[in-house]
Amino acid sequence: MIDLYTWTTPNGRKVSILLEELGVPYKVHAIDITKDEQFALDFLKIAPNNRIPAIVDQETGLQLMESGAIMMYLADKYKKFQCEGPEYWPMVEWLMWQMGGLGPMLGQTHHFVKYNKGKSEYAEKRYAAETQRLYTVLNMRLEGRDFIAGAGRGTYSIADMACWPWVSRFEWQEVDLDAFPNIKDWYLRIAERPAVQAGYSVPKYTTDVPMP
Ligand SMILES: N[C@@H](CCC(=O)N[C@@H](CS)C(=O)NCC(=O)O)C(=O)O
């Protein structure tokens, strides 16, 4: 059994979507970050960086924070949704691209462009431009491919599951997915998966999966 500590955010949904795709039993613990529950001492023992998501694997006792590490752990444990052989490291490369680029930069876009519009023209322009740049990179990567990593047209993997919840906030980012047709096709391909629909509503329903 996996204990999942999470909230209704892209980083949380990355892991709930993976757990739904794996079809393994897991127990959800909602950590309401709008009520500062991420700072509770019990949670800090599991996630010392006071951020969701985090997991505890009850079979092994392993505690993990950082969504990228959690996804790599679960994919390795269950030997699913990870690319094999020479395709493994390019998958990690794109997972790290999400962890170091797409996630943190789009997080800033949400902060300045959605929640604090008008407070800093410089920051809004900076993160809007970075958002466009990152979408352009992903759109190019998806040219001729169905999924981000893997040979040929690609294999659905944790690299896709890591990026997808961030793209699902395209409206917050003021991104027109019609300008990125490869991303739009990829987004819709993943959005229709039942496990993605289920994982999107963990720990609770907020909205339907956004549809461009
Ligand atoms: N690099 C971390 C980032 C986690 C993160 O930023 N989580 C956000 C929600 S998406 C959070 O817990 N925010 C709480 C806060 O800002 O205090 C990961 O990928 O797990």
Angle, helices 181-191 vs 158-167, to 10°: value is 110
Residue type, 131: T
pLDDT score at 193: 98
Q: How far is the CA of 82 from the centre of ligand 1 (A)?
A: 23
Q: Do 162 and 180 contact (CB within 8 A), yes or no?
A: no
Q: Do 169 and 210 contact (CB within 8 A), yes or no?
A: yes
3-state secondary structure of 172: coil
CA distance 90 to 61: 30
What are the angstrom distances between the C-alpha of 129 and each of 10, 24, 87, 97, 122? 20, 39, 31, 17, 11
73 beta partners: none
6 beta partners: 30
Fold for domain 2-80? Answer: Glutaredoxin (3.40.30)
Which atom in ligand 1 lies closest to the alpha carbon of residue 67?
A: 20
Atom 4 of ligand 1, residue of closest alpha carbon: 51
Give Cβ neighbours of residue 69 (< 8 Å, ≥ 6 apart): none
67 lines ligand 1 (CB under 6 A): yes
Ligand 1 site-directed mutation target among 7, 13, 52, most atoms within 8 Å of CB: 52
33 lines ligand 1 (CB under 6 A): yes
Ligand 1 site-directed mutation target among 9, 51, 166, most atoms within 8 Å of CB: 51
Atom 14 of ligand 1, residue of closest alpha carbon: 51
The per-residue pLDDT for range 174-184, each reduced to its tens digit, is 999 999 999 99
64 beta partners: 55
Which residue, 210, 205, 209, 195, is CA-closest to 26? Answer: 195
pLDDT band at 68 (very low <50, low <70, confident <90, very high): very high
The per-residue pLDDT for range 143-170, each reduced to its tens digit, is 999 999 999 999 999 999 999 999 999 9
CA distance 61 to 42: 16
31 lines ligand 1 (CB under 6 A): no
Q: How far is the CA of 86 from the centre of ligand 1 (A)?
A: 31
Which residue, 31, 30, 63, is CA-closest to 48? Answer: 63
Which atom in ligand 1 lies closest to the alpha carbon of residue 14?
A: 19
66 lines ligand 1 (CB under 6 A): yes
Fold match flag (2-80 vs 85-193) = no
Per-residue pLDDT, averaged over 194-204, amounts to 98
9 lines ligand 1 (CB under 6 A): yes
pLDDT band at 77 (very low <50, low <70, confident <90, very high): very high
Give Cβ neighbours of residue 79 (< 8 Å, ≥ 6 apart): none
The CATH class, in words, for 85-193 is: mainly alpha
Neighbours of 10 (CB within 10 A): 21
3-state secondary structure of 130: helix
- Averaged pLDDT of the chain: 98
Structural domain boundaries of the chain? 2-80, 85-193
